[in-house]
Structures are given as C-alpha cells and as structure tokens.
C-alpha cells in the first residue's frame, strides 16, 4: 500500500550537466530552460564543482532558492583528463567529424570513467525510485550505464547537444564498441536531428546485442530504449523583445552600410576560417563600385587549454589579416574580428541591426545563433540568414540561404545574393523561418522531451539474449 502511494506522487527531476549556472536566474538559453523545468517540477541540478587537490565522494549542496543545486567534486588532474582530455580532446572532435584531431590517452578515459562512476554513486545515494534523471551531453556518456550497474531503475534520459558521429568515425575511438551499451542504459536518448538519429541507427545496427523495433525503439539484450530527435530551440519571445528594446552598440558604420554578422565560440567546428575565406572570395569578385560591406565576427576564445583551440585562433588571425591587407581602405575595414564576450542585450540588438548572418559551421549539433538571428529581425524589413548544410538547424531552416562552407565560390555567391535580395523574398523566407523558431522554442523542447521520458514504461532488467 505504501508503495502504491509512493508511485502516485510525481517524482522529482534530477538534471546532471557539466556546468550549472551560478546566478539565481540564469540569463538565457539552455540553462534557463532547465531552470524553468526544475522550477515547475521541482528537483535537483547537479554539475561539476571547482577543481581541487583531491576529489571527494558525494555531493556538495549549493545555496539556491526554488530547487536544489549540488556539485560533484573533481580533482585538478581529473579536470585535465576528464574535461580537457577525454571530453574535449577526444569526444568533441570525434563527434564533430574531426577524427584527425583526436588525442587518445588511456589515462584520460580512466579519469572520464572515474568521474562518471563517482557521479553515479552520488546520484544512487540520493535518488528516489520515482525521480526522473536527465543527463546532459557528452561529458556523461557512460553515466547511465554506471547507474544501472549500481541498481538504479529510474527513468533515465540523455540529451546529446552535439552531432552523433558516423559509425566509421567511432572506429577511431578505443571505447567505440561500448557506445551502444552506454546508450542502451538510458530509457530515452534525445538527439538534435533526424540526421543524428540516422547516424546512431547505423552504430546501433552494428551491435549484435541491439535489435531495431522501428519508430526509434530498440531492444538491447531484451530491454527497450528509444532514440529520437528533439531539436532544441531558443526563448524566441524573450530574445525578440531584447532585440527590439536594446540600443544598438556604436559600430562607427554609416547607417546604410551593409553589416554581415557572425557570432560563435572560437571553435574549429564553427568553420570560421572557411567563413573568412568565403567572404574574401566575395570581396574578390564583387564590383568595385558597389557598397562596401563590413563583416563583424564576434568569437570569444573557449577551451584555451586545448592545443587545437590555440591553433585555430592563430589561423583565424592570419586569415583576417591577409584579407584586410588585400582589401581595406582608409575608411573601410572589411573584416572586424572581436574576441570579447558580448552581453546578451547588446548581442540581440546587433543581431537586429545585421543585414546578413553568417552561420556556417562545418559541424554543429543545432546552432542557436541561427535561431537568435531570426527571432531578432524586424519582420517588416528582415535580414538574410546564410546557413550551412552542416548545422543541425538546417533541418528546420531550409528557408535560409543554404551554403556549402567548403566551397568558396558558393559562399561568395550566397553573400552576393543575400546583399541584393528583394524585400519580398526576404519577407517570405523570414516568415517561414520565424514560424518554426517561435513554435519549436525552448519551452516546447523541454516539454516534449520530458513528456516522452515520463511516459516510459517501468524498468525491465537487461536479460541475456536467448
Ligand atoms: P555551442 O557550441 O555553444 O552549443 P550555439 O548553439 O551556437 O553553440 O550556442 C552558443 C550560444 O552562446 C548562443 O546563445 C550565442 O548567442 C552565445 N554566444 C556566442 N558567442 C557569444 C559572444 N561573443 N558573446 C555572448 N554570447 C555569445 C552546444 C552545441 C550546439 C547546440 C547547443 C544547444 O555545440 O550545436 O545548438 O549546444 O544544444
């Protein structure tokens, strides 16, 4: 009887992500969405604590109002190996189709496994049977498996924010053969796109323990799990409001000078060097008498301690220097490259001012900048989104001007077309993009994912194949 009662009480939501926000109300994006979900359902948000000399077991509570927050502990060595190492020098490049950038060290994987195990033990200590557990991203790919090994039978979901790798790239990973086993420990694996679901299908199919049931459902050693796409969105209303209300930062451009804008973390997956060269190709072929566009790229450094990130930074500076060297004039700098983080309000206003957004990653889970640009634009006189086929956002945003970022000629042509597009065509394209960005927003995403996870039937044990 007591059991039946416990079943009826809706469980808490336990979210695990590498980072948890320090502000009481996070500024925007994904963390805000999770904050809202936790506010609604109640529960606990777990993330990494500040690295220290030695890692401790268990969780440390963080003061917070509406729901609980806690950190797990990491040693400095683990930070180097689990975070900078396995997560960001192995999984990140591999999942972004850059197997050439892998630095695989056994000790990095050992630290990754140790951190995943420690978090699993900490969650097992505090989880109640009816709690829903929602794991975020590639830092915790084996966490659910570790939790199952400790006997947790809760509903467990994963959302992977980055692309799912090709089955052949996974062969470059020593732990590649275990991926299906890791994924199958969840009840629900959420991916950004149909393309990712297809890539996952390819990997799962190769595993002799996995059997496809159709509709995204799989059997792994007799236990069911699902792999489905849930394209993440933005808080479109809020971003549009910010964009309309915030003053545009002083750019020292004449008011009618065309502005092209790029906003990205400095990361090799974002295709910044290709973008600079594509803009260079446009400058080369444009007529000398036309307007002189300025391309403003905002790209704050990230993951500076990983060497691939230092390389990309130098390469980018060289590319900007050589293009500006060739085309700049006394009163015109074609590429402006800003490495600073820009406050959200200012960013929103810049998005609204821009005539063209260049969102041209070589690989990207979704890319929220594409959606932010659309939300920020004035529907009566909207700018043009130039979007790479390789952004996850491409699946929902076909009304953008689609480009192949590897093809400079194609890139140059798209910029030319964007700068000369008629008002009617801009409005048509924007209206269609806008509808999707506002409908499938961040609230839609959390709602859809958590509804699906909460409908998962009660846990069945794995059983050996007969
Ligand atoms: P990211 O790789 O960080 O996210 P993205 O989706 O573009 O990529 O989100 C970046 C966010 O940071 C945007 O909200 C953007 O406005 C903001 N930002 C970028 N540069 C900034 C700057 N200079 N100043 C201020 N803000 C800046 C990962 C995946 C993506 C996936 C998201 C969400 O790599 O593919 O879309 O998670 O799932």
Is 29 touching ligand 1 by the criterion CB < 6 Å? yes
Q: Which atom of ligand 1 is nearest to the CA of 343?
A: 25
Centroid of ligand 1 to alpha carbon of 263 (angstroms): 8
Neighbours of 410 (CB within 10 A): 14
Is 341 touching ligand 1 by the criterion CB < 6 Å? yes
Sign of CA dihedral 451, 164, 87, 316: negative
Report the C-alpha gap between 141 and 197 in whole angstroms. Answer: 16
Split at pLDDT 50, 70, 90, the class of 9 is low
Report the C-alpha gap between 254 and 278 in whole angstroms. Answer: 24
Give the tens place of pLDDT for each residue, 398-455: 999 999 999 999 999 999 999 999 999 999 999 999 999 999 999 999 999 999 999 9
Catalytic residue among 196, 364, 408, 430: 364
Which of 354, 368, 387 should be mutated for ligand 1, with most atoms under 8 A from CB? 368
Is 367 touching ligand 1 by the criterion CB < 6 Å? yes
Q: Whose CA is nearest to atom 8 of ligand 1?
A: 367
Q: Whose CA is nearest to atom 20 of ligand 1?
A: 264
Lowest mean pLDDT among 287-291, 317-321, 336-340: 287-291
pLDDT at residue 22 in the model: 77
Give the tens place of pLDDT for each residue, 233-267: 999 999 999 999 999 999 988 878 899 999 999 99
pLDDT at residue 28 in the model: 59
pLDDT at residue 288 in the model: 74
Q: Which atom of ligand 1 is nearest to the CA of 28?
A: 14
Please say if 161 is a catalytic residue: yes
Centroid of ligand 1 to alpha carbon of 264 (angstroms): 6
Catalytic residue among 35, 161, 274, 408: 161
Q: At 169, which helix (H) or strand (E)?
A: helix 167-170
Split at pLDDT 50, 70, 90, the class of 466 is very low
**What percentage of the chain has pLDDT greater than the value 70?**
95
pLDDT at residue 29 in the model: 64
Q: Which atom of ligand 1 is nearest to the CA of 299?
A: 23
Centroid of ligand 1 to alpha carbon of 366 (angstroms): 9
Split at pLDDT 50, 70, 90, the class of 97 is very high
Structure ipTM? 0.98
Is 363 touching ligand 1 by the criterion CB < 6 Å? no
Classify burial at 150, counting beta carbons within 10 Å of its beta carbon; exposed 0-12, middle 13-18, buried 19 or more. middle
Report the C-alpha gap between 88 and 66 in whole angstroms. Answer: 32
Cα angle, residue 239 at apex, residues 300 and 429 outer, rounded to 5°: 95
Please count the helices (runs of H) and the strands (runs of E) in the chain: 17, 16
First-to-last alpha carbon distance for the chain, in angstroms, is 36
**DSSP state, residue 230:** -
Name the more confident of 443 and 7.
443
pLDDT at residue 2 in the model: 47
Could you tell me if 407 and 273 are in contact, meaning their C-beta atoms sit under 8 angstroms apart? Answer: no
Is 347 touching ligand 1 by the criterion CB < 6 Å? yes
Q: Which atom of ligand 1 is nearest to the CA of 192?
A: 38
């Amino acid at each position: 009887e007591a059991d039946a009662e416990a079943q009826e009480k809706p469980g808490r939501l336990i979210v695990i992500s590498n980072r948890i926000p320090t502000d009481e109300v996070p500024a925007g994006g994904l963390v805000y969405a999770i904050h809202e979900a936790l506010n609604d359902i109640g529960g606990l948000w777990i993330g990494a604590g500040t690295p220290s000399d030695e890692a401790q077991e268990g969780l440390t509570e963080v003061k917070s109002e509406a729901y609980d927050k806690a950190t797990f502990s990491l040693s400095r060595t683990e930070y180097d190996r689990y975070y900078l190492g396995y997560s960001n020098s192995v999984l990140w490049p591999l999942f972004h189709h850059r197997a050439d950038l892998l630095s695989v060290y056994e000790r990095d994987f050992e630290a990754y496994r140790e951190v995943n195990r420690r978090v699993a033990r900490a969650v097992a200590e505090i989880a109640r049977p009816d709690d829903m557990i929602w794991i975020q991203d590639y830092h915790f790919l084996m966490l659910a498996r570790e939790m199952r090994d400790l006997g947790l039978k809760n509903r467990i979901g994963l959302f992977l924010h980055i692309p799912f790798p090709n089955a052949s790239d996974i062969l470059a990973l020593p732990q590649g053969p275990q991926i299906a086993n890791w994924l199958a420990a969840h009840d629900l694996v959420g991916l950004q796109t149909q393309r990712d679901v297809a890539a996952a299908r390819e990997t799962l199919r190769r595993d002799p323990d996995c059997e496809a049931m159709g509709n995204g459902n799989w059997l792994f050693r007799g236990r069911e799990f699902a792999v489905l796409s849930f394209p993440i969105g933005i808080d479109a209303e809020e971003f549009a409001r910010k964009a309309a209300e915030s003053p545009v930062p002083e750019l020292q451009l004449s008011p009618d000078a065309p502005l092209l804008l790029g906003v990205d973390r400095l990361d090799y997956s974002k295709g910044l060097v290709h973008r600079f060269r594509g803009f260079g190709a446009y400058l080369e072929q444009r007529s000398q008498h036309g307007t002189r566009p300025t391309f403003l790229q905002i790209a704050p450094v990230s993951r500076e301690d990983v060497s691939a990130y230092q390389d990309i930074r130098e390469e980018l500076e060289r590319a900007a220097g050589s293009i500006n060297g060739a085309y700049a004039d006394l009163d015109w700098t074609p590429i402006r490259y800003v490495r600073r983080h820009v406050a959200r309000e200012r960013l929103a206003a810049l998005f609204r001012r821009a005539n063209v957004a260049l969102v041209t990653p070589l690989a990207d889970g979704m890319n929220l900048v594409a959606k932010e640009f659309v939300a920020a634009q004035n529907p009566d006189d909207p700018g043009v989104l130039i979007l790479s086929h390789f952004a996850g956002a491409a699946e929902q945003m076909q009304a953008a001007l689609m480009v192949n970022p590897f093809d400079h000629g194609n890139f140059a042509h798209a910029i030319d077309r964007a700068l000369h597009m008629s008002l009617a065509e801009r409005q048509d394209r924007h209206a269609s993009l806008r509808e999707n960005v506002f409908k499938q927003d961040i609230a839609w995403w959390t709602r859809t994912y958590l509804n699906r996870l909460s409908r998962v039937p009660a846990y069945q044990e794995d059983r050996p194949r007969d």
